[in-house]
């Protein structure tokens, strides 16, 4: 039985051309690099689909939330009060979900979120007991005030409807976290 290999050759040839074309198109995308060839972080988000104001909101909320997750993980282990440890665990769980939503939104809009700077944790390692709890709650209160203000504004004023939806969706949880942190702070004093 003789088989005709010509159609297979055509398929292999066509697939090879498609792969070659895809590689050429990918290399034609604008690179955001420095003179040394490294990625320039100041230029990464220049090609985002978001307005300047929407980008600032997304980056600000991401930075606050990621820092709070990092600090809350530490608080879940080191806080002296059980209610503060439980609150920290709640924040980690709820902020991780919000961060995943924000990361997806940013990715869909061509935005790269900032990386968390963990160098500030060194000062937290030295804190203990009531001082740790008070400082942790104060940091959470300050961060949530900023996040709530930004979300309230962007829930109605964001230019991108997905950004506005994110702000509206997560605003109530941020307000509740703020209220609970303020209530806990009164108990810790």
The SS3 call for residue 33 is: strand
**pTM metric for this prediction:** 0.73
* Per-residue pLDDT tens digits for 92-151: 999 999 999 999 999 999 999 988 888 878 889 889 999 999 999 999 999 999 999 999
Mean pLDDT value of segment 165-178: 97
User: 33 φ, ψ to 5°?
Assistant: -130, 165
Task: Give the per-residue pLDDT at 49.
Answer: 84
User: 95 φ, ψ to 5°?
Assistant: -70, -35
**Spatial CB neighbours of 119, under 8 Å, sequence gap ≥ 6:** none
**Spatial CB neighbours of 33, under 8 Å, sequence gap ≥ 6:** 39, 40
CB-based contact 111:51 (threshold 8 Å) = no
């Amino acid at each position: 039985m003789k088989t005709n290999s010509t159609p297979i050759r055509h398929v292999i040839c066509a697939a090879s051309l498609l792969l070659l074309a895809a590689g050429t198109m990918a290399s034609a995308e604008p690179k955001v690099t420095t003179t040394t060839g490294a990625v320039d972080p100041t230029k990464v988000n220049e090609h985002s689909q978001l307005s300047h104001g929407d980008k600032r909101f997304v980056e600000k909320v991401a930075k606050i939330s990621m820092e709070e997750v990092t600090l809350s993980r530490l608080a879940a282990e080191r806080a002296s009060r059980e209610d503060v440890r439980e609150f920290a665990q709640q924040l980690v769980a709820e902020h991780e979900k919000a961060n995943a939503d924000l990361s997806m939104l940013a990715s869909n809009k061509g935005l790269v979120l900032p990386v968390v700077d963990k160098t500030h944790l060194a000062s937290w390692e030295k804190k203990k007991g009531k001082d740790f709890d008070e400082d942790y709650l104060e940091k959470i209160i300050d961060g949530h005030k900023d996040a709530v203000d930004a979300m309230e504004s962007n829930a109605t004023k964001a230019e991108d409807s997905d950004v506005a939806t994110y702000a509206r969706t997560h605003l109530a949880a941020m307000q509740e976290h703020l209220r609970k942190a303020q209530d806990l702070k009164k108990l810790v004093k």
